[in-house]
Amino acid sequence: MRNVLAILSTLLVLAASAARAETIVITVNGMVCAFCATGIEKSFKKQTAVAAIKVDLESKKVTAQTKPDVLLADDVVTKLITDAGYAVVDIVRQP
Ligand SMILES: [Cu+2]
């Protein structure tokens, strides 16, 4: 019984420490055309943490999907957008 409890608690700790993939929704000001979208997509795709990237000009939203166990920090996201010439309005993370 003691062994079972030990195994169960180990499993719980492992599950809690494994970082899941995240969806990061970034609201961006200044994107107006397909070239803006492509430029942003390219700079995000260069990041090893990014699994997928989608730019929606109408809603001004850039949606980045991260890989599991890697972090794409807010300051990195902000730098990618500002270096491309646009302004970050908001960053929302979804599990
Ligand atoms: Cu443009």
For 13-35, what is each residue's pLDDT tens digit? Answer: 444 445 689 999 999 999 999 99
Output the CATH code of domain 19-94. 3.30.70.100
Q: How far is the CA of 66 from the centre of ligand 1 (A)?
A: 25
For residue range 38-95, what is the model confidence (pLDDT) as tens digits? 999 999 999 999 999 999 999 999 999 999 999 999 999 999 999 999 999 999 999 8
Residue 41: what pLDDT? 97
User: How remote is the CA of residue 6 from the centroid of ligand 1, in Å?
Assistant: 57
How far is residue 8's CA from residue 17's CA, in Å, rounded to a whole number?
A: 14
Task: Round to whole Å and give the CA distance between 68 and 63.
Answer: 16
The alpha carbon of 8 and the centre of ligand 1 are apart by a number of angstroms equal to 53
Give the total residue count for the chain. Answer: 95
Residue from 28, 23, 8 nearest 63 by CA: 23
**0.85 surpassed by pTM:** no
